[in-house]
């Protein structure tokens, strides 16, 4: 019942906003957007394999207008490595640590982005994970520096602005993991007033606070914007294990070793009896 009440309340808020837009122009600001999510909190449990949310809302539109929706996750450092053969063995020879990059960035739109606005207008509206420009710290020859084992390098060198080719390589890697995506023609509009979109969140979505931005475009110009929040968090047994592993890492390591030894011993006993 609680979930139904929440859904009814959110739909009610959307309808109130729509009435303000179409029936009360003196009360509402021009070109305003009203938007909300079917659920602003996503719980990651041991059985989580992705989920789907509904974003819905209203806008003061005209024929030909477009809507862009940007779902952005918390900023993080992203490690990108290049491997090469050394003495017949593949080792890490170069590492880039991209600083404060979006951990998750999905763009939904009523049309393809080039059809909605030019590259400059989209960049000014920060409709791209690379719109603000990303910098990285380079650490070369990982094997020689002892960073070949997968740990984050401890380099404290200067931050370097990534060139277009380097940033495109990062984009391809993030898209291959399903963390950065552009989904054209994924927003449905009705009568130039209502819009809705289904947000499919993958199983590997990072936890943290998210921003959900809705932008209204007309003739290639961003007219208005609305931002709502979303939180993705671990819940249930997986959350307890996660917190225990981070808060008591030494005890977690000891427990993992004991559990592995005990499991191996029990398996050996079981097979010996057979």
| Alpha carbon distance 110, 250 (integer Å) | 50
Tokens for 132? 């603000």
Strands 194-201 and 66-72: unpaired
For 226-236, the pLDDT digits (tens) are: 999 999 987 75
User: Where are the alpha helices (H) located in the chain, listed in sequence order?
Assistant: 2-23, 113-116, 119-124, 142-145, 164-176, 237-247, 249-273
3-state secondary structure of 113: helix
Q: 262 burial class (0-12, 13-18, 19+ CB within 10 angstroms)? A: exposed
- Identify whether the C-beta of residue 31 lies closer than 8 Å to the C-beta of residue 216: yes
Q: What is the pLDDT of residue 113?
A: 95
Q: What is the pTM of this model?
A: 0.72
| Alpha carbon distance 115, 76 (integer Å) | 31
Residues 6 or more apart whose Cβ sits within 8 Å of residue 161: 133, 134, 135
Q: What is the pLDDT of residue 117?
A: 95
| Alpha carbon distance 73, 232 (integer Å) | 9
Q: Give the DSSP H or E segment for 1.
A: none
Q: What is the pLDDT of residue 115?
A: 95
Residues 6 or more apart whose Cβ sits within 8 Å of residue 203: 48, 49, 50
Q: Which residues of the chain have pLDDT under 50?
A: 1-2, 8, 13, 16-30, 142-150, 154
Residue 40: C-alpha distances to residues 10, 48, 103, 138, 248 (Å): 11, 16, 18, 37, 30
| Alpha carbon distance 35, 136 (integer Å) | 35
Q: State the maximum Cα–Cα separation within the chain, in Å, rounded to a whole number.
A: 83
- Identify whether the C-beta of residue 37 lies closer than 8 Å to the C-beta of residue 45: no
- Identify whether the C-beta of residue 45 lies closer than 8 Å to the C-beta of residue 235: yes
Which of 265, 172, 160, 202 is CA-nearest to residue 48?
202
Q: What is the pLDDT of residue 27?
A: 41
Strands 89-102 and 135-140: antiparallel
| Alpha carbon distance 152, 98 (integer Å) | 11
Residues 6 or more apart whose Cβ sits within 8 Å of residue 62: 192, 218
For 109-168, the pLDDT digits (tens) are: 999 999 999 999 999 999 988 887 888 887 655 444 444 444 555 455 678 888 888 888
| Alpha carbon distance 19, 179 (integer Å) | 36
């Amino acid at each position: 019942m609680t979930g139904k009440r929440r859904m009814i309340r959110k739909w009610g808020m959307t309808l109130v906003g729509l009435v303000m837009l179409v029936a009360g122009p003196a009360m509402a600001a021009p070109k305003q957007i009203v938007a909300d999510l079917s659920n602003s909190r996503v719980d990651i449990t041991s059985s989580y394999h992705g989920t789907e949310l509904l974003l819905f809302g209203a806008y003061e539109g005209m024929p030909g207008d477009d809507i862009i929706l940007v779902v952005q996750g918390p900023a993080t450092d992203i490690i990108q490595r290049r491997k090469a053969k050394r003495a017949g063995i593949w080792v890490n020879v170069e590492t880039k640590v991209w600083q404060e990059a979006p951990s998750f960035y999905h763009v939904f739109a009523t049309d393809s982005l080039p059809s909605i606005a030019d590259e400059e207008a989209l960049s000014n509206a920060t409709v791209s994970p690379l719109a603000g420009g990303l910098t990285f710290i380079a650490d070369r020859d990982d094997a020689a520096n002892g960073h070949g084992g997968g740990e984050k390098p401890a380099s404290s060198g200067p931050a370097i602005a990534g060139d277009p080719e380097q940033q495109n390589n990062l984009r391809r890697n993030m898209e291959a993991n399903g963390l950065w995506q552009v989904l054209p023609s994924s927003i449905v509009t009705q009568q130039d007033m209502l819009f809705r979109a289904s947000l499919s969140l993958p199983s590997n979505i990072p936890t943290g606070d998210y921003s959900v931005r809705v932008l209204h475009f007309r003739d290639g110009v961003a007219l208005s914007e609305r931002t709502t929040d979303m939180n993705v968090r671990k819940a249930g047994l997986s959350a307890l294990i996660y917190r225990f592993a981070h808060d008591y890492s030494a005890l977690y390591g000891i427990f993992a070793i004991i559990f592995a030894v005990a499991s191996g011993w029990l398996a050996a006993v079981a097979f010996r009896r057979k």
